[in-house]
Homo-oligomer: A and B are copies of this chain.
Amino acid sequence: MKKTLQELAYLIRGEVVGDAGLKISGISSLDDAQEGEITFIANSKYLTKAKETRASAIIVSNKIEGIDKPLVITDNPYLAYAKIVTFFHQHPHPSKGIDKSTIVGDGTSIGKEVSIYPLVFIGKDVTISDRVVIYPHTFIGDGTFIDEGAIIYSHVSIRERCRIGKRVIIHSGTVIGSDGFGFAPDGNQYYKIPQIGIVQIDDDVEIGANNTIDRGALGKTWIKRGVKTDNLVHIAHNVVIGEDTLLVAQVGISGSTRIGNHVTLAGQVGVVGHIEIGDNTVVGSKTGVSGSVPANTIVSGYPHMPHRQWLKSSRCYPLLPQMRKVLHKLEKKVKVLEETFQQYTEERK
């Protein structure tokens, strides 16, 4: 499949500078692109590399000097790249229907144009909406609702009564709706608190591989529209994650914490329970968030602090032994000064 530069420019709302009729066969990185392909410059630091690419055309945000290849100029070349990759590589899931080895419980309704692969287990009173794709070895518990166009990869467990929104993607091995970690101390032992809530995942969320999202103790654990999680992320019971928030790999969020919209938690961040993180906040990797964080801030460290402060303090950390040495030296010097001074004073009496 080839497309003209003009057609691709239309797709990404860009403007062609050069031969608009040029045929393009695909998109690749500056280094890997071959003749006939288009590439992109998402960051001006790669401008020099652009002169060496074998690509036949380049997506850029500004006209660049010294390159006589056709260009497509657009505000956001990285987004343009994403759209063109999608265009060349989208594999629509053709409807496969329901494999005969799949188990479907009583009272379950299944929509149109679904693809339900072999060896899937679907419980009772489940709703599978139109165009849903469910890969092999997936478990869907009783009463769960899966909205239109959701894609559930292999080995996902979605337990009873959960709600999965439109176009949600859940990667392999993820567990949705496991019991929250709730126990009441009873002497030295622990008494299990039944976890009777649910998990609700809104539209256009993507959940990475081997995540664990616990059901609410009461009420719900709620992942709002547009959230994206990376792999091995843990979300405890009754957590609320705001719209368009990113949770990078191995993040863990404790129970009942509320995270705002458009927040980013970088890799291996841990967040204590029962706090709030405001909108648009960024939390640096490995941070331990130990209390609520206001909106529009950047925090790092453990306990967390403003990111700039952490940067400065972390630069001092390797200097600690030297600081300690200086401190000892000063202590001695000051003592000497004080003593000598004392002598003088006495001599003067």
Q: In whole angstroms, what is the CA distance A137 to B228 when docked?
A: 27
**At the interface with chain B, which of A14-22, A106-114, A316-324?**
A316-324
User: Is there contact, CB below 8 Å, between B320 and A29?
Assistant: no
Q: Point out the residues of chain B lying under 8 angstroms from A185, CB to CB.
A: 76, 78-79
CB-based contact B244/A267 at 8 Å? no
Which residue of chain B has the shortest Cβ distance to A271 in the bound complex? B267
- Please give the count of copies of this chain that the complex contains: 3
CB <8 Å contact, B178 and A231:
yes
Q: How far is the CA of A62 from the CA of B31 in the complex (A)?
A: 55
* Stretch of A2-10, A65-73, A300-308 contacting B (4+ beta carbons < 8 Å): A300-308
Distance from A323 Cβ to chain B, minimum over Cβ atoms (Å): 6
Closest Cβ–Cβ distance, residue A41 to chain B (whole Å): 14
- A181 cross-chain contacts in B, Cβ below 8 A: 208, 228, 230-231, 248-249
CB of A35 within 8 A of chain B? Answer: no
B341 pairs with A340, CB closer than 8 A: yes
Whether B153 pairs with A155 at a CB distance below 8 angstroms is: no
Within the assembled complex, what's the spacing in Å between the Cα atoms of A268 and B268? 9
- Say whether B267 contacts A254, CB under 8 Å: yes
Contact between A82 and B172, CB atoms less than 8 A apart: no
Given known contacts A89-B196, A181-B231, is B252 in contact with A267 (CB within 8 Å)?
Answer: yes
User: Are B234 and A214 in contact (CB-based, < 8 A)?
Assistant: no
A194 sits at the interface (CB 8 A): yes
Whether A234 pairs with B232 at a CB distance below 8 angstroms is yes
B327 touches A318 (CB 8 A): no
Q: How far apart are the CA atoms of A244 and B190 in the complex, in Å?
A: 7
Binds B, one of A48-56, A125-133, A328-336: A328-336
Seen from chain A, the residues whose Cβ lies within 8 Å of a Cβ on chain B are 28-29, 32, 76, 78-79, 81-83, 85-86, 89-90, 99, 101, 103, 117-119, 121, 135-137, 139, 153-155, 157, 159, 169, 171-175, 178-179, 181-186, 188-194, 196, 204, 206, 208-210, 212, 214, 218-219, 226, 228, 230-232, 234, 236, 244, 246, 248-250, 252, 254, 261-262, 267-268, 270, 272, 285-286, 288, 301-303, 305, 309-310, 312-321, 323-324, 326-327, 330-331, 333-334, 337-338, 340-341
9 more A-B residue pairs beyond the given contacts A82-B184, A181-B231, A313-B319, with a C-beta to C-beta distance below 8 A: A79-B191, A86-B194, A89-B194, A136-B139, A181-B249, A234-B249, A305-B318, A316-B323, A326-B331
